Amino acid sequence: MAQLPPTNQVILTGEVTEEPTIHYLAPDFPEVHLRLKTEEQVTGREGGKSYTQRLWHRIVARGSTGILLEQAHEGSILSIAGRIEYVREVDRSGTSTLVTEIVATHARIHQQASRGTAPTASTPASPTFDATAYPPTEDEDPLS
């Protein structure tokens, strides 16, 4: 059996938890930073009780994906496909911190929130995500 090469691919669907920040690296080439909250039901080991696990992810999108995500606002529901990157950030005092970011290469906005408004409690659950809509590029495809 042939061994597949390692791959770094992430697919997330969740809610934008704060207004994205947008910086332009060049005309028509934005870099968008946002936080995405994902939720899933998990069964605990002890007692088998189910609980909701919430995770917050740092998302970075550049270029055409960034242009799409410029339209996202706090409360928007979106799906992203991309890769994990580890970035070393140094603050003003010189303290270095390793940060995990998801670099989005594909995105889709499922539910648009207006600027500055979060969804109400009656907002429907996150939609299902069709990964076939985001095929890997030639250099990302581990099977080619």
Q: What is the pLDDT of residues 24-72, one digit of tens each?
A: 999 889 999 999 999 998 888 877 888 899 999 999 999 999 999 999 9
- Cβ atoms of 53 and 11 within 8 Å: the answer is no
The half-sphere exposure of 121 on its side-chain side, counting CA atoms within 13 A, is 0
> How buried is 35 (Cβ within 10 angstroms: 0-12 exposed, 13-18 middle, 19+ buried)?
middle
Q: Which domains, and CATH codes, for the chain? A: 10-113 (2.40.50.140)
List phi, psi (to 5°) of 32.
Answer: -110, 130
Does the reported pTM lie above 0.75? no
Residues linked to residue 88 through DSSP beta bridges, in sequence order: 98
